A and B are shown apart, each in its own frame.
Chain A
Amino acid sequence: MRSLIEMNSMLSAADLAAIVVTLKLATITTIILLLVGLPIAWWLANTRVRAKPLVEAIVALPLVLPPTVLGFYLLLAFAPDSPVGQLWQYLGGEQLAFSFSALVIGSVIYSLPFAVQPLQASFEQLPKSLLEAAATMGANGRDQFFSIILPLSRRGIIGAASLGFAHTVGEFGVILMIGGNIPGETQVLSIALYDRVETLQYSSAHWMAGGLIVFSLLLLGFIYRFNKTASLYPAGRVRS
């Protein structure tokens, strides 16, 4: 009895594998989030098209939808005989569902607003006059981006990266639906924790759950300290 409940006083090899998968997923997702999020946020911050609220709403959808909605549609989309699954295999990919790539795709969509919104907020606060002045002095778009936009948007970029990373680490519902719980491939920390609780390995569960709390606290503390203001978003802008 006791041996079953108190089994694994520390983290096992499988637990460590879950931590590695989680960190790998969060890192890759964050990089893609920045690559995808920067142009979207820049466009949203500068566009005057009437469809802008619609695009903003689409980006923000994962904030309000239950993860099961995304998980459900992704599962249907990833099936080998669906158009998305066919395209993926045509492009040389293995089967999409239950693969690490599937988790990356799901995580990027799921965490997109957490990256786009801080970026958009900081882009909107860039003084346009500065860019115009730089342009009159002959700085091309690339110069402007690297010597003005990037340094001035530092906070937004770090906020977007940290939030995207943290939110991916905290993901559960989507992965439960599309992951297939494969150790070393798609078994992330939150899923491993769920397994441990179901199998009464409370000791192992405590290590994971406690570790996640400390990790998230440190990361959020870092973001707040970096921003120095009370908001996760630069200069008082509240995400709407």
Chain B
Amino acid sequence: MPRLLPLLLLLLTIGSSLANADTATIATAANFKPTLQRLAAVFEQQTPHQLTLVGASTGTLFNQIRQGAPFDLLLAADSERPARLEQLGFAIAGSRFTYAEGRLALIGYPAGRDLNPASLRAELTTGRGKLAIANPNTAPYGLAARQALEALALWPLAQGRLVRANNIAQAFQYVDSGNASLGLVAYAQVIHSPRAHWLLPARQYQPIRQQAILLQFGHRNQAAIDFMHFLTSPPAKDIIRHHGYAVAD
């Protein structure tokens, strides 16, 4: 009997965790949603929990959370807004961590055109097309795009040629529809497409640290807490890397 005790405890734990199957609502930055869908599918296979995903821009989600939106966990596209939610008391202090680092890629129209620093410069000097970036004031990838153009000493040249999309998805769509001839987008958007792209060197912009934080609303939600731990597991990191993000080991 004493030798069976650990087994009994294990069964009890499994039983109680089954009984405690939770549902969590995860608010995610739009750029990460496809990756999150894959992660959520794996997570739901491994645990009894269920996840509901809500995708919008980080700024929109931030405002919604401040107005009491029922989200348990936030996967932001930056580190600034999760930090602010922590300060304001809308999130659990100390639960914040970087789950992915975004990377910037240059794409063009037509999809097969050659892309490199020289073609970017040539387009801005002699071409006539527009360069689409996400809005640097609202979108972390837009800010990184601006920093990269500054690092390449192309920012002054780009004035008058820039179109600022509402978010990184719209920047991609401006190029895809042919309205902009070049665009700086998230590598995650192009990594699995046949579209030609140039992956910008990481030193040309500040790291796009996408941070997660447990929200006040979800501080007792076991599904949200378990999913946070899952995000730092090696299988989850592999999925995140596979989708075009950098992740620290």
Contact = CB atoms under 8 A, between A and B. Distances in A.
A95 B165 contact: no
Interface of B is mostly: mixed
A182 B164 contact: yes
Interface residues of A, number: 21
Interface in A160-195: 176-177, 180-182, 195
Given A1-B84, A195-B137, A75 B163 contact: no
A231 interface: no
B174 to A, nearest CB: 7
Contacts of B59: 197-200
B57 interface: yes
Contact of A98 (B62, B63, B84, B130): B130
Given A180-B165, A198-B59, A95 B177 contact: no
B129 interface: yes
A82 B178 contact: yes
Which of A180, A197, A199 has the most CB atoms of chain B within a 10 A radius of its CB? A180
Given A198-B59, A198-B138, A181 B163 contact: yes
A198 B63 contact: yes
A180 B84 contact: no
Nearest to B162: A182
B179 interface: yes
Interface string A36-62: 000000000000000000000000000
A114 interface: no
Contacts of B87: 1
Size class of B's contact patch?
20 to 34
Contacts of A82: 178
A132 interface: no
B178 A81 contact: yes
A212 to B, nearest CB: 19
B60 interface: yes
A92 to B, nearest CB: 14
Nearest to A187: B164
Nearest to A186: B163
B87 to A, nearest CB: 6
B137 A199 contact: yes
Contact of B135 (A181, A197, A200): A181
Interface string B52-77: 00000101101100000000000000
A76 interface: yes
A180 B130 contact: yes
Nearest to A81: B178
A182 B162 CA distance: 8
B128 interface: yes
A95 B128 CA distance: 8
A208 to B, nearest CB: 15
B79 interface: no
A98 B59 CA distance: 23
Contacts of B63: 197-198, 200
A198 B163 contact: no
Which of A176, A198, A200 has the most CB atoms of chain B within a 10 A radius of its CB? A198
Interface in B110-137: 128-130, 132, 135, 137
Contacts of B163: 97-98, 180-182
B232 to A, nearest CB: 29
Nearest to B62: A200
B178 A80 contact: yes
Interface in A56-112: 75-76, 78-82, 95, 97-98
B166 to A, nearest CB: 6
Given A95-B129, A198-B60, A79 B178 contact: yes
B145 to A, nearest CB: 14
A199 B84 CA distance: 12
Contacts of A198: 57, 59-60, 63, 137-138
Interface string B13-54: 000000000000000000000000000000000000000000
A1 B90 CA distance: 14
A78 B177 CA distance: 9
Interface of B: 57, 59-60, 62-63, 84, 87-88, 128-130, 132, 135, 137-138, 162-166, 170, 173-174, 177-180
7 contacts: A75-B173, A76-B177, A95-B128, A181-B163, A195-B138, A200-B59, A200-B62
